[in-house]
Every structure is written in structure tokens, then in C-alpha cells.
Structure 1
Amino acid sequence: MYKPIADGIGVVDGPLVYMTYPGLRFLKVPFPTRMTVVKLPSGGLWLHSPIAFDRALAAALSAMGPIRHLVSPNKIHYVHIRAWKDAFPEAIAWASPGVRERARAQAIPVAFDADLARDAPESWEGSLKQTIIHGGFMDEVAFFHLPSRTLILADGIENFELDKIKQPYRFLVWATGANHPHGQMPIDLRSTFWPKKREVRAAVEEMMAWKPERIIVSHGRCIESDAVGSLRFAFRWAL
């Protein structure tokens, strides 16, 4: 169900997905999923990292406004865009850097209509700012909802609550360092951003300059206060 965060922005928590780590293919780690929904001044809806398609959810969102944008923030957040696009063919499917190639390599047919860049397109300019956190394995497009001063991230920060995770997954999450109350990018993914530390620093400094009041994350607990301090801690290795 849609959960409002502030005026014009909310989230929908989706089903678990299962990820594997290199060398631990036998161990499928459960990840919670989350979609962010923004209502643009035009009345249309902007969906960040669409979760698994559900007809009842789609109907509820459509009652709020027409679904206009389906956004992949990085190349591992895109799988469900096809189902939403099939249901709402008039919506624009936005590709993050590298996601087209990733989808082809994974044999997942997704038809993207446009590509995200460092600057916001005219479609949501004035409502959302954006920047790109460059990495070695992938880039992530970070967004900032101006009216609510909300930063929207996918994997830039993960903030799992350990008391909600069973073993052995609890230990794995703890070992990556991506757990509440000090969420950050897990160490395995963080290592792929390290070679582009200078570019990461520039993006993080830009995000901090936006002075966000909260951070919506795709995995784990959202950060509801001291957003700038949380960014500084999560990316201290780049700053």
C-alpha cells in the first residue's frame, strides 16, 4: 500500500527479492524492496525503482494520478519496469547508466524510452534535482524532491534493521556494515566505487548542499532525521 512521507511523496514497500554474493551462490540473501512515488505538479506520477507489479496497487496509484514516469536509478533496479510499462504503455521508462547493457546481458527484455543524465529533464525539472554517483561496477542516479526536501537513493545507502533479519543473513548484513542506525553502502559494493572516489565526493558534496531533511532508501529503514550527517557518515571514505 502507498504510505505518504510528506506532501506529494510516499513509498510502497514491496516483496522480498533474493540476491547472491560472489563465492556464496548457494546462499540467497533476502532483500526488502521499496518504490518511491512522487506526484509532479502536472498531476502525473513518477515511480522510482518500481517494485513487482500488482494490479490492486496499480489501480490505487492510478486513482492518485496518471503514471507518467518509470525510473531505473541504477543498473540493478530495473527488472519490474517492463510489467509496469506493459500496464501503462504511455509512461516513459527511464534508463540509468549501463542498465540497457545489463538487461541485455541478463536476457530481461525491457524497452527503455529515454536516458537519465546528470541534470533533471524538463519533465520534472523544478520538482526534482538529480546527480550521478559514479562507480566502477555501476553508477547510481540520486534524486532530491525539492518541496519535501527528501533525498531518494537506491543502493547509495542501505540501512537494514538487524533485529528483523534471521541468521545467517543477519551476520552477513552486519559484516557489510550496511545496518541501522548507521546505514551506508555495503562494503562489497562500496569497494567498486572506491576507484572513482573523487567523482563520488563531488556527488556527495552536491547532495549535502541540497540540505535534505530525510532520506528514502530502497533497502532497510528510511532515515528520518539528520540526513546531512547520515550522508557524511555513509560516505566518509570519499570525503
Structure 2
Amino acid sequence: MSTLYSFAPEIWLASGPVITAALGFRYSTRMAVIRLQNGGLFIWSPIALSDKLRDQIDALGPVRHIIAPNHRHDSFLAEWATAYPQAQLHAAPGLAEKRPDLSFSSTLSNTPQADWQTEITQSVVGGNSITTEVVFFHKASRTTLFTDLLQQFPKGWFRGWRALVARLDLMTEPTPSVPRKFRLAFRDKTTARKALKKILGWPTKAVVVAHGDPVTTDGAAYLDQAFRWLKIRSR
């Protein structure tokens, strides 16, 4: 059962149920909750909404914004939209077309919404044929939030041929890494590098990822190393 815990000032994390994706690959899930200065809650990459989790969320404040940071993290949006009909639902580019059953208030861009623009900034990482991901930075805690572009699974998480694929895909590295399939999917590296330049300019202390353990210190240096392969320009 999901339990919300404090990660940094005004930001909480919770791990959700393991979900099974294509070809039987199992993925851990994680969400973040940021309490804005006006008391409203910013829900990033929502996980399954249990009664216990809902009670913990409601104790923090009213849910104002529900964020789907890429078009792959939509499994639990409907239940959150039903539970919090007053909240605004925000979609990463491409998700609204995938989920016509949901009513989105906005499509996320490089410009933060007015409700959080002084507290959270964001960068749309485009140019990838798998997904377009919106990366967020919470200024007060100096925490950067990644969804699928950084992943890490412990040794033994995958079994059999899936373990081999995961290792070759860089999914089981010692620290969260960009999976090889995502690296190859960056068809427009100029667009990706522009987004990365913005992200690397943030004074990141901690990095939270949806699939893997958070990086809690020297986040800026860690991100610089994690994306060093993308900064190398081909001659």
C-alpha cells in the first residue's frame, strides 16, 4: 500500500504498485506531490489512488494540478480526475490525442502555468521518437523530476531474457541512466540539446525519477554526467 513520505521541504514522494508493460516488463512507479505557496497541491506522475494515499494527500491540501509528464504515464489519470474533479489535468505533448476520454486543461510547454511559474519551472525534451517528456524543477527544494528518460532497476528485478535486455538497455546501471532505446530514439538531437541546456542550468541538488531511486546529492553534477553522451556532437 502506498505511503507518502517527506522528501524535501514542500515535496513528498510515494511509490505505487508495479505495473506490467509490453513484453512482460515490470516497472516500479513513483509520484511526487509539491505543495505550492497558495496551499494547492501539484501532483506529478500520479500512481494508483488508494484510500490511504488519498487521506494523506487530502491532509496536505487541496489538489489543484495533476501532471502527466509524458504520454506513457497515463494509467491512473482517470481515477484521479474522478476523485478530484476540481483539479486541472495537464498533458504532455501527444497525450491528449491518445486519451480523448479525458478533459485536459492544458498541454504542457516550456512556459510554466501561472499558478506555479514562480515555484516550478519546466523544459520540454522533444526530438525523441518514443515520447516527449516534460522535466520539472522545484526551486525551493532544488529537485529535478524525470519520468522515463532516466531509469534504474536493481539487480535481479528482471529475470531470464528480460534481464539481459535490461542490462543491454542500461536499465540496471548503478545510478539512474538514460536507457539505450531512448538514446537511439533521439532523432532530433538539436532540439534535445536545447532542452538539456536549460535543464543543466538549473541548480539541481536532488533528482527524482519515476523508475528508480532518487539521487539526493550533487544532482547537477550527476545530470551532467548522465547526459554527457548527448552533448557530444558528431563531426
TM-score, normalization by structure 1: 0.90
Deviation per CA, 1:192-221: give whole Å up to 9, x if none.
12x111111121121111120110000011
Where does structure 2 lack aligned partners over 5 or more consecutive residues?
none
Q: In the alignment, is the contact (CA less than 8 A) between 1:4 and 1:10 conserved in 2?
A: yes
Q: In the alignment, is the contact (CA less than 8 A) between 1:127 and 1:146 conserved in 2?
A: yes
State the Cα RMSD in Å. 1.5
Give the fraction of aligned pairs with identical amino acids, expressed as a percent: 29
2:51 counterpart (52, 55, 63): 55
1:146 counterpart (129, 139, 142): 139
Secondary structure at the counterpart of residue 199 of structure 1: helix
Matching residue's letter, 2:165? L
- 1:23 aligned residue: none
2:106 counterpart (100, 114, 117): 114
CA distance in 1, matches of 2:110, 2:146: 15
CA 1:180/1:5 → structure 2, altered by over 3 Å: closer, same or farther?
farther
Is residue 80 of structure 1 aligned with residue 97 of structure 2?
no
- 1:95 aligned residue: 91
CA apart distance, 1:165: 4.3
- 2:230 aligned residue: 238
CA distance in 1, matches of 2:65, 2:208: 18
Is residue 192 of structure 1 aligned with residue 185 of structure 2?
yes
In the comparison of the two structures, how many residue pairs are matched?
A: 228
- 1:24 aligned residue: none
CA apart distance, 1:78: 1.6
Secondary structure at the counterpart of residue 33 of structure 1: strand
- 1:170 aligned residue: 163
Q: In the alignment, is the contact (CA less than 8 A) between 1:204 and 1:231 conserved in 2?
A: no
Where does structure 1 lack aligned partners over 5 or more consecutive residues?
21-26
Secondary structure at the counterpart of residue 173 of structure 1: helix
Is residue 229 of structure 1 aligned with residue 225 of structure 2?
no
Deviation per CA, 1:131-160: give whole Å up to 9, x if none.
111122321110000000000010121122
CA distance in 2, matches of 1:42, 1:236: 38
- 2:27 aligned residue: 31
- 1:42 aligned residue: 38
Q: In the alignment, is the contact (CA less than 8 A) between 1:162 and 1:174 conserved in 2?
A: no
Shifted more, 224-233 versus 37-46: the winner is 224-233
Is residue 214 of structure 1 aligned with residue 206 of structure 2?
yes
CA distance in 1, matches of 2:109, 2:221: 27
CA distance in 2, matches of 1:233, 1:29: 27
CA distance in 2, matches of 1:102, 1:231: 30
